[in-house]
């Protein structure tokens, strides 16, 4: 019989007031039940928010170095449990083991980083135009943050929201994705064991319609940070804006790799394929469009097809290169887009078929050629291992195609032409721009966020920018 896990509210592990639970299963082996989690209600979410609100004074008045020490201790706790957390992540989300281990290490590093940054949070001293006056700014925590996180990076994304919030003295009500709540629960355990005060962090599982909506609208919540689909993000943003909250939304992407005629084809294939098929294409920064100069087009298609066909598909716990989709609905969505692409007239060069690799949601990575920029497979986020290869004849045409979507999260160009590289950095309508690198992969100490429908374009995450969202600046004039 599977274990039942609880919410974490005001320093206690508690059952939902509904008395109901939902089941979480391994997407690579549907017979493997990971556990039962609380099917929480609006009342449970309210309790989490109220606990966070009650803890604001204590946590805000805790000195920054002391807050930082707790975060660093949490990092050590995560490090001690790295193998366990990696296996948990593989088992509930489906990632290949090296991908999961990298994500867990990212969470470890994030808590270590913000543990150090907590000692620097203060303000700036400025020169006053008056004599006998000290002029300075003072950064204060915003209050209570409602955090809503996705299933595709179920420990890294919670980490890069939770760590800067706690570093600033902000308290938290946190809802993880229902498809991957267990590794997030273990993250909360590590923070609890590090000595976090009761109420500073509260964890509630359950539906977005009840838990998520409450975090977005509750009068005691001062800021809402959401990562997920554009459709849900728009709803969260509308709810939060109606009640005057600070809002941070990071949403979808339709990320291109532009391959110019000066590129090394083998390098371009590796960059595009790793960005498109890594983590089963289930990343907001995944490459889903390869925009390739016509002089290299045929050679590139041949290379990327070979790369796709070389990927070993199967359960991550068995050492496969690419794991399953996280759910049946995600698999069905990818298969539907395979049909859409074929019906639109694109050529399916390889893949796009269900794979019998156990009792799970496996699909072979797909490559489409002869793709037109206005086709749905070239415009809409698929969130699966599907790469559309689009031919172009010039840099200007490549740029037009690259920017010709509603999203603007990550973009890359592969070129040996310095002018093209610099121009693309300036011209790309994306929050993350890379040269001769894959669209996925982020440094934790620099800002991350998108443009257009990929983001609310308000506050960035990670680095110093990650702290800004959770603080208010007060300007002080001290005349002595």
List the catalytic residues.
Answer: 250
Token representation of residue 194:
């590090």
Angle CA(457)–CA(462)–CA(465) in degrees, nearest 5? 60
Which residues make beta-bridge pairs with 392? Answer: 293
Token representation of residue 187:
């993250």
Task: Compute the distance between CA of residue 61 and CA of residue 56 in angstroms, rounded to an integer.
Answer: 8
Token representation of residue 420:
């093209």
Query: Within 13 A of 250's CA, how many CA atoms are on the CB side?
Result: 27
Q: Are strands 366-369 and 347-350 parallel, antiparallel or unpaired?
A: antiparallel
In 3D space, the residue among 438, 410, 407, 412 whose CA is nearest the CA of residue 424 turns out to be 412
Task: Compute the distance between CA of residue 108 and CA of residue 86 in angstroms, rounded to an integer.
Answer: 12
Indicate the burial class of 396 (C-beta count within 10 angstroms; 0-12, 13-18, 19 or more).
exposed
Taking CA atoms, 108 is separated from 73, 76, 102, 181, 425, in Å, by 10, 7, 10, 18, 31
| DSSP letters for 398-424 | HHHHHH-SSEESEEEEE-S-HHHHHHH
Where residue 33 falls (left for φ over 0; alpha for ψ -120 to 50; beta otherwise) is: beta
Task: Compute the distance between CA of residue 29 and CA of residue 207 in angstroms, rounded to an integer.
Answer: 24
Token representation of residue 41:
């209600």
């Amino acid at each position: 019989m599977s274990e039942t896990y609880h919410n974490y509210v005001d320093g206690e592990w508690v059952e939902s007031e509904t008395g109901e639970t939902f089941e979480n299963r391994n997407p690579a082996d549907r017979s493997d039940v990971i556990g039962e989690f609380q099917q929480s209600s609006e009342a449970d979410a309210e309790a989490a928010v109220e606990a966070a609100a009650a803890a604001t004074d204590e946590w805000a008045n805790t000195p920054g170095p002391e807050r930082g020490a707790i975060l660093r201790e949490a990092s050590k706790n995560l490090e001690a449990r790295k193998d366990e957390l990696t296996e948990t992540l593989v088992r509930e989300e489906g990632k290949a083991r090296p991908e999961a281990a990298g994500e867990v290490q990212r969470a470890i590093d994030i808590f270590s980083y913000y543990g150090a940054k907590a000692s620097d949070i203060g303000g700036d001293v400025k020169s006053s135009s008056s004599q006998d006056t000290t002029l300075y700014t003072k950064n204060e925590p915003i209050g209570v943050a409602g955090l809503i996180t996705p299933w595709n990076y179920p420990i890294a994304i919670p980490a890069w929201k939770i760590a800067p919030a706690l570093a600033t003295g902000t308290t938290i009500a946190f809802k993880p994705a229902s498809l991957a709540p267990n590794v997030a629960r273990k993250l909360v355990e590590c923070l609890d064991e590090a000595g976090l005060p009761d109420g500073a962090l509260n964890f509630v599982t359950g539906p977005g319609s009840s838990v998520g909506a409450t975090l977005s609208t509750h009068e005691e919540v001062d800021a809402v940070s959401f990562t997920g689909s554009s459709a849900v993000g728009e709803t969260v943003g509308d709810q939060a804006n109606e009640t005057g909250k600070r809002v941070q939304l990071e949403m979808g992407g339709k990320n291109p790799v532009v391959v110019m005629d000066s590129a090394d084809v083998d390098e371009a294939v590796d960059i595009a394929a790793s960005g498109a098929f890594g983590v089963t294409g289930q990343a907001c920064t995944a490459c889903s469009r390869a925009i390739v100069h016509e002089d290299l087009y045929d050679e590139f298609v041949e290379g990327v097809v070979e790369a796709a066909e070389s990927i070993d598909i199967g359960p991550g716990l068995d050492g496969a290169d690419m794991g399953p989709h996280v759910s049946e609905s995600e698999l069905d969505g990818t298969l539907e887009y395979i049909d859409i692409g074929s019906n639109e007239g694109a050529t399916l060069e390889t893949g796009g078929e269900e794979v019998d690799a156990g009792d799970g949601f496996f699909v072979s990575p797909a490559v489409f050629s002869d793709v037109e920029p206005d086709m749905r497979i070239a415009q809409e986020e698929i969130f699966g291992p599907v790469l559309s290869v689009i031919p172009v004849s010039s840099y200007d045409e490549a740029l037009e195609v690259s920017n010709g979507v509603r999203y603007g999260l990550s973009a890359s160009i592969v070129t040996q032409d310095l002018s093209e590289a610099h121009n693309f950095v300036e011209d790309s309508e994306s929050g993350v721009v890379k040269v001769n690198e894959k669209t996925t992969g982020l440094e934790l100490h620099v800002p991350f966020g998108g443009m257009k429908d990929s983001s609310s374009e308000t506050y960035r995450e990670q680095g110093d920018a990650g702290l800004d969202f959770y603080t208010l600046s007060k300007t002080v004039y001290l005349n002595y």
